[in-house]
Amino acid sequence: MNIISIKDLAGLIKQERKSRGWTQVQLAERSGVSRDWIIGLEKAKPSVELGLVLRTLKALHLPLEINQSSQSVQDGIDLNDILNQTRQRDNESS
């Protein structure tokens, strides 16, 4: 499953918790966090602490895998290249 937002992650965690028949209290105990923290996570609270999220994933036996994109962030549009190409075409047509 591709997780691209906290909302996606929150939904997965809630779904896994329910599929195991665990209450929020049970997941909180297994994760070493409070029930209120689990509630915040399941509501996709944007300020959840990453370390606690990882601990919660571990309690659910959900491995975290990160795949590096093959496309570099720098593969965007280079305006200088576009200007140079345009100038070159203009010079060739003159």
Domains contained in the chain, CATH given = 6-59 (1.10.260.40)
Strands (E), the chain: none
For residue 33, pLDDT over 70 is answered with: yes
Q: What is the tally of helices (H) and strands (E) in the chain? A: 5, 0
Residue 77: the pLDDT is 65
C-alpha 72/C-alpha 57 separation (Å) is: 28
Q: Which residue has the higher pLDDT, 79 or 14?
A: 14
pLDDT at 51: 95
Whole-angstrom Cα distance, residue 54 to residue 13? Answer: 11
Radius of gyration of the chain (CA): 23
Q: Residue 92 and residue 94: Cα distance in Å, rounded?
A: 6
Q: Give 79's pLDDT tier (boundaries 50, 70, 90).
A: low
62 contacts 16 by C-beta, under 8 angstroms: yes
Residue type, 79: L
| Higher per-residue confidence, 20 vs 80 | 20
Report the alpha-carbon distance of residue 35 to residue 9 in Å, rounded.
Answer: 17
Record the pTM. 0.69
- 54 pLDDT band, cuts 50/70/90, is very high
